[in-house]
Amino acid sequence: MKQSFYKLTHSNLAFLLKERNLNASGANLLFNWHYKKKNTSACITDLSKDTIGYLSENFDFELPKIDQAHESSDKTVKFLFELKDGNKVETVLIPFNNRYSICLSSQVGCAMKCSFCFTGTQGYKRNLSTDEIVGQYLEVYRWLEKNRPNDGKILNIVFMGQGEPLHNFDNVKDACDIFISQAGSSVATQKITVSTSGYLPGLKRWIDEMPQVNLALSLHSPFTEKRDELIPINKNYPLSDILDYIDQIPLRKKQFIIYEYLLIEGFNDSIDDAHETAKLLVGKEAHINLIPFNPFPGSKYKRPSSKRVLAFQKIFDSYKIPALIRSTKGDDVLAACGQLKT
């Protein structure tokens, strides 16, 4: 059976070619063709006949299809992708400083069952394969070139769509590897962010295995009881263990960890909640993103007033922790991402 070409990292591809005594520089040509130039057709330029034969016999070049694209007035676009097995996932394109951020899904559904998350209420179906992750990026890139040719391109890639990326570690890692490959799309590591609810088994592989991309932790509460309610896996992987581990991650200059804090009215939006959160993070290379809760049908929480959100934000000033409110859809990755429903 043929496997997807878009599953292969550059080094895997070079290895496979070498193993068959084919010129390993074909990996550069192929990455340039498919990821830099973003061609959909098979690459024939400059490849040897044997390499072309090997590729066509063993690999397919199919990608998930865009089923629907919903464009909102602020230029945000939500894409519904149809996968080969009929499952669907969402990808969001968000305008950002004249360019775009893309919010990728990593799983169909999610096993973490967070009480405030629509994806979590759907349960876990399966991991996305590397090609299904990379495919979201390539297809949206092409959509942008076709539909908004005069606009800027995709600058940032964030794993904040459906699914827990560290629960699908291998495929997310390979997708990041493909994105940053110099011969291909060569996205800078600083432009990629992986967001986790605190899935410790995945996080423990971060330092040794993940390329140096940014990490975002969904914190949501410094208090055990509240965090347990919001993110049930907190009972298995307590926040203190997660923070200890994150502290060991070597950071580049000017790099910081992003802490996401979902604000729910009357639950975790008090001044006391803010102080305790700030105390937990003070002295760390930390930025906070405050995300007012996005309600969905059947959800039991409420979004706080903007006055309350501003008061919460203000507390972080005195601790000198940068805190950004992510609320308006247009310039916001998180708010648009957190609401994904299929």
Contact status: 197 vs ligand SAH (CB under 6 A): yes
Q: Is 328 exposed, middle or buried (0-12, 13-18, 19+ CB in 10 A)?
A: exposed
* H-helix or E-strand spanning residue 24: none
Interface segment toward ligand SF4; rule CB under 6 A; list 82-90, 110-118, 144-152, 302-310 = 110-118
Catalytic residues: 90, 337
Q: Compute the least distance from the CB of residue 197 to ligand SAH, in Å.
A: 4
Q: Compute the least distance from the CB of residue 138 to ligand SAH, in Å.
A: 21
For ligand SF4, the binding residue among 26, 64, 135, 163 (CB under 6 A) is 163
Contact status: 258 vs ligand SF4 (CB under 6 A): no
Contact status: 114 vs ligand SF4 (CB under 6 A): yes
Q: Is 200 exposed, middle or buried (0-12, 13-18, 19+ CB in 10 A)?
A: middle
Rounded to 5°, the CA angle 294-296-297 comes to 160
For ligand SF4, the binding residue among 13, 66, 102, 112 (CB under 6 A) is 112
Contact status: 267 vs ligand SAH (CB under 6 A): no
For ligand SAH, the binding residue among 91, 196, 234, 277 (CB under 6 A) is 196
Handedness of CA 296, 302, 305, 310 (dihedral sign): negative
Which 215-254 residues touch ligand SAH, going by CB under 6 A? 218
List, edge to edge, every strand of the sheet that includes 65-71.
Answer: 65-71, 77-82, 88-96, 99-103, 154-159, 192-196, 214-218, 257-263, 286-292, 323-325
Interface segment toward ligand SF4; rule CB under 6 A; list 117-125, 234-242, 297-305, 312-320 = 117-125
Count, residues near ligand SAH per rule CB under 6 A: 17
DSSP string, 311-337: HHHHHHHHTT--EEE--SSTT-HHHHH
Cβ(274)–Cβ(312) below 8 Å? yes
Q: Compute the least distance from the CB of residue 118 to ligand SAH, in Å.
A: 6
Enumerate binding residues for ligand SAH (CB under 6 A).
116-117, 160, 164, 195-197, 218, 260, 262, 291, 293-294, 334, 337-339
Enumerate binding residues for ligand SF4 (CB under 6 A).
110, 112-114, 117, 119-120, 163-164, 197
